[in-house]
A = this chain, B = another copy of it.
Amino acid sequence: MTKPDALIFDTRGGAFPSPQLAPVSAVQLTDAFWAPRLETNRVRTLPTQYLQLEETGCLDNFRRAAGQEGLKFRGWVFADTDLYKWLEAAIWALASGPLPELEARIESAVALIEGAQDTDGYLNTAFMFDRAPERWATINTEGNNHHELYSAGHFFQAAVAHYRATGSERLIAVAKRLADHIAVAIGPGEGQKHGVDAHPEVEMGLVELFRITGERRYLESARYQLDARRGMGRINGAEYPFLPIREYDRLVGHAVCAVYLMAGVADVYAETDEPALGALLERLWANMTQALMYITGGIGPRWDNEAFGADYELPDRAYAETCATVGSIMWSARMLVQEQDAKYADLIELSLYNGFLSGISLDGQSYYYQNVLGDDGTQRRQAWFGCACCPPNMARLFAQLPGYFYSVAPGCVFVNLYASGEAHLTLPADETQEAREVQLIQETNYPWDGRIQITVQSEGKFSIALRLPAWARDVSLSINDEALPNPVAGDYARLTGEWKIGDVIVLDLPMPVRQIVAHPRATSLFGRVALMRGPLVYCFEQEDNPFVDVRDIRITPTSKFTPELDQGLLGGVVALRGDAGVVNEKDWAGALYREASESGEAELEARAVTAIPYYAWANRGAGAMAVWVKRG
């Protein structure tokens, strides 16, 4: 058993030696942006979600499986995953400080899970008693099944988290029995079930369980899931080509399935170095970021089957499921620790601040399943969903978030994300050097301001590598007020030296308002523009612009936007205020189409308009919202 208290994905190394993410408990955020959200997650989101687990029958399903009488199974066949994700979230949330009630609920959940496991190691409350004969019955190579492996995968992740955060082996013991059961029941051998789950997830869990226990058969089970699979993400009846996964040249099908699968591929690749998997990961990550991704980091435009569409298919009415953004972050995190390429941390940052954070209300108690980029005011957050995958997935990522801020490698600490706080890190040993402690203090008003000051609290020779986001221009970087030459945006700036306690690094990332356009092949975005500042995507909401339907706003070549910090607005945000053209479309009265020659130049009335960060939309009265507005 190895490495308690670390949110890690890889120990293999690559261009950089063995980077891994920081332990969650090693990073204490104290900033005004994330720290309050993480505290809301701890004290409001997790308790209200627990009530949902009780109300929807999720907890009763475990009690029933453990033998309590008079209960019926309720919910989807994968309802167990609601508890597993909540449990993982609760476990990591305790890294930020004790919460006795939460600890008691974790203890109770651990006991529930122990009690629900069958004597042969099987664990899934949907297939007990009269439905026990259905176990593994629908598994096949195209993945049309009951999501038993998907549920197992989420349990493995929760068990690993429990061990890493607390050192307890109680859930690991349950997990090993289940993983041993799976290794016997499913595989390529005679007498085994041949097949995979429609919903990938177990691959990640099995590899992590391998990393903790050293049991290679868990890694083999994970690899078998990739080898046996035909098709990438088939759910909701949609039809896509069923290829062996190594043969895909683009992401297809159910978006959450596809990115969870790629995260699992990354885990298997990290442990096997199979070149075909490495090439697949590079190819599909490029496809996602170059042709399939919303400006918010959201993915999967299609409402009909929660799926990826054609290249450049990016309608305003995005599906962009919150879980898909979470899955994209999980995938990029695994790529990051293998290659420590800044592009992966750039995408994590973009996704966190926009397509992820839009999924939850400021009060932490209602959620978007779909994250549209334009709306007439009808799409609102909900307290829960019949298929409640997204809410506990958000709680889990919030709780893990401190671990994403830094990567550690022998002799080097990588600063992936920016927020005020303290980090107490251990750089691991390698052949040439011993492990060493490194403490850093970050001070910044990021993402509202791009000045970041890092005070070194450890001495000795090591490297500090700062991510310079690709969106940045005119970056400046100094050590103890001495400017460093030519920092390159889109890369880590690696500062190596003999550090003294009190050394101060200042990174300045100017944050002008950027007017962003999309690739011309993205036809629905042609002639339109979106505003960004720093990592944040902005939107126009009706509430701030009552004199116009926000969809009629046009940004002209002379429009200038100014950032203004407004502490009273939406929990404190930098709003963008500027002049835009507002068009009176009244001359269209009654017409939906007309000849171009009838349309003169639109008469623009200059008006002061206000944009707010996209993540904060729909926290006031219902009204129209637009990320993309017209140019011209």
A354 shortest CB reach to chain B, Å: 12
Q: Scoring A residues 602 to 632 as 1 if CB is less than 8 Å from chain B, else 0, what string do you get?
A: 1000000000000000000000001010111
Q: A526 with B595: in contact, given A310-B376, A520-B602 (CB under 8 Å)?
A: no
Cβ-defined contact, A316 with B523, below 8 A: yes
- Which residues 434-452 of A sit at the B interface, judged by CB distance below 8 A? none
Q: Tally A residues with Cβ within 8 Å of B.
A: 56
Alpha-carbon gap, A293 to B593, bound state (A): 10
Name the one of B289, B309, B516, B521 contacting A317, with C-beta atoms under 8 angstroms. Answer: B309
Contacts of A313 in B (CB 8 A): 317
A374 shortest CB reach to chain B, Å: 7
- Which residues 519-538 of A sit at the B interface, judged by CB distance below 8 A? 519-524, 526-529
Q: Scoring A residues 58 to 100 as 1 if CB is less than 8 Å from chain B, else 0, what string do you get?
A: 0000000000000000000000000000000000000000000
Q: Is A597 an interface residue (CB 8 A)?
A: yes
Q: Is A131 an interface residue (CB 8 A)?
A: no
Contacts of A293 in B (CB 8 A): 592
Q: Is A291 an interface residue (CB 8 A)?
A: yes
Name the one of B374, B522, B529 contacting A592, with C-beta atoms under 8 angstroms. Answer: B522
Q: Is A547 an interface residue (CB 8 A)?
A: no
Cβ-defined contact, B591 with A631, below 8 A: no
Cβ-defined contact, B526 with A528, below 8 A: yes
Alpha-carbon gap, A295 to B289, bound state (A): 32
Q: Oligomeric state, in number of copies?
A: 2
Q: Is A154 an interface residue (CB 8 A)?
A: no
Cβ-defined contact, B516 with A552, below 8 A: no
Q: A596 with B303: in contact, given A315-B524, A523-B374, A551-B521 (CB under 8 Å)?
A: no
Alpha-carbon gap, A588 to B316, bound state (A): 22
Cβ-defined contact, A585 with B520, below 8 A: yes
Cβ-defined contact, A515 with B597, below 8 A: yes
Q: Is A304 an interface residue (CB 8 A)?
A: yes
Contacts of A317 in B (CB 8 A): 309-310, 313, 315
Cβ-defined contact, A590 with B290, below 8 A: yes
Q: Scoring A residues 295 to 317 as 1 if CB is less than 8 Å from chain B, else 0, what string do you get?
A: 10000001110000111010111
Q: Scoring A residues 133 to 156 as 1 if CB is less than 8 Å from chain B, else 0, what string do you get?
A: 000000000000000000000000
Alpha-carbon gap, A376 to B250, bound state (A): 14
Contacts of A311 in B (CB 8 A): 376
Most buried by B among A286, A293, A376, A378: A376
Q: Is A475 an interface residue (CB 8 A)?
A: no
Cβ-defined contact, B316 with A630, below 8 A: no
Q: Scoring A residues 487 to 531 as 1 if CB is less than 8 Å from chain B, else 0, what string do you get?
A: 000000000000000000000000000111111111110111100
A566 shortest CB reach to chain B, Å: 25
Alpha-carbon gap, A529 to B596, bound state (A): 8
Q: Is A558 an interface residue (CB 8 A)?
A: no
Contacts of A520 in B (CB 8 A): 552, 583, 585, 588, 602, 630
In the A-B complex, the 5 residue pairs with the smallest Cβ-Cβ separation, listed nearest first, are A527-B527, A303-B304, A524-B524, A515-B596, A310-B376
Could you list some 15 contacts between A and B, CB below 8 A?
A293-B592, A313-B317, A315-B524, A316-B524, A374-B523, A515-B595, A518-B592, A519-B592, A520-B583, A520-B588, A522-B592, A526-B527, A527-B527, A527-B632, A529-B596
